[in-house]
Chains A and B, each alone.
Chain A
C-alpha cells in the first residue's frame, strides 16, 4: 500500500529554520507531482507548494514564496520542504500528498489521492 511518512517537525523560534522530509514507498515516486499542504490549529487546509516529477517546475502559495523551498530526491523517494525565516503564522500540521492526474482530451485533472499523517511545526518563542 502507498505510504507517505513525514518527519522533521518541531518547535522553532521565529526567524528560525526547519527542514521537513516525506518518505514515500510502494509506488513509483518519480512518476508523480508531489505537494505540501498545511493546516493551522483549528483551521482549514492550505496548499503550500508542489513540485514536478523531475523537479524542473515548482509552485508556491504567495505567503511562503522566498521563505519555503520544495525539493525532491527521486533516488531516495523523498520529498522535502526547507523552511526559512519562519513566522508564527507558519505554525501548522504539514502534510505531504501525492498528486494523481489523468488527461481527458485537452483537460488534465489532478487530485491528492494519498496523504501522509502529517508533522507538526510550531513557531514560537
Chain B
C-alpha cells in the first residue's frame, strides 16, 4: 500500500497568516493527489483534485502543488472558517489511502 505522510500533524496560526501543509507519498503517485478539509462533526469537503485543480466553489486562497512524491497545500491568507483538519489522499492505486491529517488551530 502507498503510505501518505503529512506534516506537521498540527499547527497554530492566526487569521491572515499564510499556511503550508505538506504531504509525502511512499512512492511516486504522479499527480494523483487530492486534498480535503474536515470540520468537527462534519463530513470531509473536497478542496483540490489532481494535485492543483481547485474544486468548484472553493475559495482561491487555497492552492495545491507538487507531483511525484511531494505535495503542498497552501492557504494564502487564513480565514476564521479555515480552522479545520486537512487530509491528503492518493488515488493512484487501491487502496485509496489518506494522510493522517493536519489540524489547523488558533
Chain A residues within CB distance 8 Å of chain B: 35, 37, 44-47, 50, 59-62, 95, 100, 107, 109-113, 115-118
Contacts and interface: CB of A to CB of B under 8 A. Distances in A.
* Consensus secondary structure, chain B interface: loop
Contacts of A112: 34, 36, 44, 46, 89
Contacts of B31: 107, 109
B43 A47 contact: no
A16 B66 CA distance: 44
B30 A44 contact: no
Given A44-B87, A111-B49, A60 B43 contact: no
Contacts of A100: 49
B99 A44 contact: yes
A44 B95 contact: no
Interface of B: 1, 30-32, 34, 36, 38, 43-46, 49-50, 55, 87, 89, 91, 94-101
* Consensus secondary structure, chain A interface: strand
A88 B100 CA distance: 20
B46 A111 contact: yes
Contact of B95 (A59, A95, A107, A115): A59
Contacts of A107: 30-32
Contacts of A44: 87, 98-101
Contacts of B46: 111-113
27 contacts: A37-B44, A44-B87, A44-B98, A44-B100, A45-B38, A45-B98, A45-B101, A46-B98, A50-B96, A59-B94, A61-B95, A95-B43, A95-B44, A100-B49, A107-B30, A109-B32, A109-B49, A110-B32, A110-B91, A110-B96, A111-B89, A111-B91, A112-B44, A113-B49, A115-B43, A115-B44, A116-B43
